[in-house]
Chain A
Amino acid sequence: MVDASRLDHRRAPKPVFVKLQHRKVTRAMSNRTLPRILQTPSVLLLLIWMLVPLSMTLYFSFIRYVLNSTIRPEWTTPSLSNWRGFGNYQYVLNAKDFWFAIQNSVFIVSSVLVLTVILGLGIAVLVNRSFPGRGIVRVLLISPFFVMPAVNAVLWINMILDPVLGLNGLAVSGINSIVEGLRDFPVLGGFFSMWPELEPISFRATQTSAYAVIMMVSWQWTPFAVLIFMTSLQSEDESQKEAATLDGASPWSQFINLTVPHLARPIAIVVMIQSIFHLSLYAEIEIVSRGNGNKNLPYLIGEFTSNNIGAASATGIFAVILANIIAIFLLRMVGKSLMD
């Protein structure tokens, strides 16, 4: 055991705190100091990781700082003499697409969450029963989760969703030719001739590009939800279920009354981890339509970074604020249950 008194003066905690703890906790002193020492490396590392670059971002956000300027060359070196106060923030707040980007950030994350949880639940229930080839089915199902984001986006937008060269265009023209063929039938033909010729949807348009992102991200992360839900379903109490079956409960009411409550915690986990990852989507946004119609805050920061570091930094601070609001909200909602 580590000598408590020796460690104590190395990282002396506030005296009041020690007293309080002392009164409450009956264990030996070492039990209060040791945990702190064990936690110190991670806390310290994360603190440095968070504070150092972030304070630089904060500094840049209050000064004029551009990478290149022919008319104001003095702005190209970061210096306190270029102090601007809240000017960058004001500029960013009024910039094109700022509010749109915030809205989109939230829209994309929440849509992906809803889709993956619903699909994940359904698929997890589907593969929870034993049937021939279940092992292979599971392997096939979880594979998308291992694909790199950039590969995912290139694959989907070019090879699958492209309205002419992708499978999207191929499928639509296939349906069209089937409908065309059906028109020649004597009775049904009248019905099918009322069908309009389908036009393939372009997923890079302003109106649709956010959906393309949601689709590809959901494809990648549904397997993650399936993994978590599957694990949790396996731990479900089978005797309870059997009793319910004997009582004549339908499979649906069993699902709603027994399975879903059991899954509350795994759902919280899926929501939590995914929101962490999807708030900073970047590659997908860029590859689908370069921010046309699907711009989120990280992408807006990227656009400013091409020259205006001051504005990029101010947007970065807004993004940090948004992330923290969502974090507090999320942790309140789902975090508590995860900690207990």
Chain B
Amino acid sequence: MKSLLNSALGLALGVASATVAVADGHAKELTIAIVNNGHMINMQKVAEAYTEETGVKLNWVSLEEGVLREQVTSDTATGGGQYDIINIGMQEAPIWGAAGWIEPLNFGADYDVDDMLPAMRNGLSHDGTLYAAPFYGESSMVMYRKDLTDAAGVAIADNDSWDNVKAAAAAIHNPDAGVYGACLRGKPGWGDNMAFVTTVVNSFGGAWFDADFKPQLESDEWKAAINFYVDLLGDYGPPGSEGNSFNEILALYNEGKCGMWIDATIAASFLTQPGVAYAQSPNAGNPVGANWLWAWAMAVPAGSPNAAESQAFIEWATSKEYIKAVGNHPDFGWGKVPTGTRASTYAIPEFQAAAPFAAAEMAAIESAAPAATDIKPYVGVQFAAIPEFPEVGTAVAQEIAAALSGAKSVDEALAAAQEAANAIMSEAGYF
């Protein structure tokens, strides 16, 4: 028995050590954690050229967003060293930079860091130091079916008022024909429904926290904004909106079931339904604006043994050359280049021809204002760049989804959200 056990154990150890040996065999090997979005999938293919050129082997670990955050956070926080390059968002980059979890990025002159859109660069920096390089960036805007609005005799202007948007949604809403007036995010998650909901709240003049980081979820602005959101989506949205986020709505839109969709600008490059028109997000005149700002960026965890190679790869993957490489790639082309990062991209004629949404996207990104203001005393548009935000955002997101489902009234949901947010913030030591 014992010998059997021993040999079995030996075999397993052998398997384990064999893989270690293989890993040691290649000196230059980078492990990159990514979310499985379209642009990152394409990168895996485009980067084959990089491997050929430099000899650096790339291991891609693609993960679902939530699992990615969980893994990358615990790995980086404890210095686990599993990844050489990590995909993080604009919410994490400045906080992790401040905590010393990720390396500051220094690129050569060819990289032309000044070409990077200022909103992106600021959002991914802490104290003026860039900690993560944007792979693709996005803001939010209105995408709508011009054929339907024309037929109904309504129009949606740039930075229109919410009341006009609602009236337009009502005019094109025709559930018998399978067309719903407005498709908006409802799936709970700080990066899902709360991304959109926060922009609505911002445009109503509300904010997550006051200057002392006390949650403001029961303020009049929040109440007005959430009531508006629940009414709009309840009256003119598709059934099951509380389960919809980007993917689900994209499917609905491409099936011709949405008259209007307010979401990430990146969506525009996936739309197949003809007759689409774009407008800047509705705004009620608040200086914070109603556009969000997000980037999927790449960063190097502190203490990575391959920091130099990792920086070199990031420099390549976020460069002007990379964008050209995608544009000229036989499998992809100019319609599929990662956008929202560099001003120079928008000046490329081939890109302008392939991307009718380019101007609207650029305008949306440029008008997004992540900086702290009197109304919103924290960095970030649709989030707050503090470590506790994901927890607060998740708790509030579920309450908003409950209000949208009709399980709670808006007031009840906001009261519960406020209580939860208060508990989390006071637990974290803010007050």
Contact = CB atoms under 8 A, between A and B. Distances in A.
Interface stretch (B277-285, B355-363, B399-407): B399-407
B119 to A, nearest CB: 22
B240 A164 contact: yes
A204 B240 contact: yes
Contact of B99 (A70, A203, A286, A308): A70
Interface in A199-226: 199-200, 202-207
Contacts of A41: 5
B238 interface: yes
B318 to A, nearest CB: 25
B391 interface: yes
Interface residues of B, number: 50
Contact of B242 (A94, A205, A311): A205
A73 B429 CA distance: 11
B415 to A, nearest CB: 11
Interface string B161-189: 00000000000000000000000000111
Given A164-B240, A311-B427, A291 B398 contact: yes
A68 B99 CA distance: 8
B235 to A, nearest CB: 14
Given A164-B240, A204-B243, A293-B405, A68 B188 contact: no
B416 interface: yes
Contacts of A278: none
B63 interface: no
Contacts of B36: none
Contacts of B98: 70
B405 to A, nearest CB: 4
Given A206-B402, A207-B405, A293-B405, A69 B188 contact: no
Contact of A289 (B66, B388, B401, B420): B401
A306 B243 CA distance: 22
Contacts of B273: none
Contacts of B61: none
B247 to A, nearest CB: 9
A307 interface: yes
Q: Could you say which of B5, B187, B192 has the most chain A C-beta atoms within 10 Å of its C-beta?
A: B187
Nearest to A172: B239
B395 interface: yes
B240 A305 contact: no
Nearest to B1: A38
Interface string A140-180: 00000000000000000110001111000100000000000
Contacts of A183: none
A96 B401 contact: no
A338 interface: no
A292 interface: yes
B391 to A, nearest CB: 6
Given A70-B386, A72-B428, A72-B429, A165 B77 contact: no
Contacts of B429: 69, 71-72, 75
Nearest to B244: A204
B419 interface: yes
A71 B428 contact: yes
B401 A206 contact: yes
A204 B77 CA distance: 33
Contact of A164 (B192, B239, B405): B239
Nearest to B420: A96
A68 B416 CA distance: 25
B407 A293 contact: yes
A67 interface: yes
A180 to B, nearest CB: 11
Contacts of A99: none
A70 B95 contact: yes
B57 interface: no
Contacts of A95: 420, 423
A33 interface: no
B252 interface: yes
A164 B257 contact: yes
Contacts of A307: 73, 387-388, 390-391
Interface in B331-390: 386-388, 390
Interface size class of A (residues with CB under 8 A): 35 or more
Contacts of A75: 429
B188 A200 contact: no
A286 B77 CA distance: 24
Nearest to B247: A158
A303 B391 contact: yes
Nearest to B428: A69
B69 interface: yes
Contacts of B402: 206, 292-293
A250 to B, nearest CB: 46
Interface string B203-247: 000000000000000000000000000000000001111110000
Interface string A68-95: 1111110110000000000000010011
A70 B379 CA distance: 14
Contact of B395 (A96, A158, A163): A96
B243 A286 contact: no
A200 B257 CA distance: 15
Nearest to A88: B427
A290 interface: yes
Contacts of B187: 204, 289-290
16 contacts: A66-B428, A67-B387, A68-B77, A68-B101, A70-B99, A73-B99, A75-B429, A96-B423, A164-B240, A164-B257, A200-B240, A202-B241, A203-B240, A204-B243, A290-B187, A302-B70
Please list the 6 inter-chain residue pairs (A to B) with the smallest Cβ-Cβ separation, ordered nearest first: A204-B243, A202-B240, A206-B407, A205-B405, A163-B240, A68-B387
Interface of A: 41, 66-73, 75-76, 91, 94-97, 157-158, 162-165, 169, 199-200, 202-207, 286, 289-293, 302-308, 311
Interface of B: 5, 66, 69-70, 73-74, 77, 95-96, 98-99, 101, 187-189, 192, 238-243, 248, 251-252, 255, 257, 386-388, 390-391, 394-395, 397-398, 401-402, 405-408, 416, 419-420, 423, 427-430
Given A68-B95, A96-B420, 18 more contacts: A68-B96, A76-B77, A91-B423, A158-B248, A164-B239, A165-B252, A199-B239, A202-B240, A204-B240, A205-B406, A206-B407, A207-B407, A289-B243, A289-B401, A290-B188, A292-B402, A303-B391, A306-B70
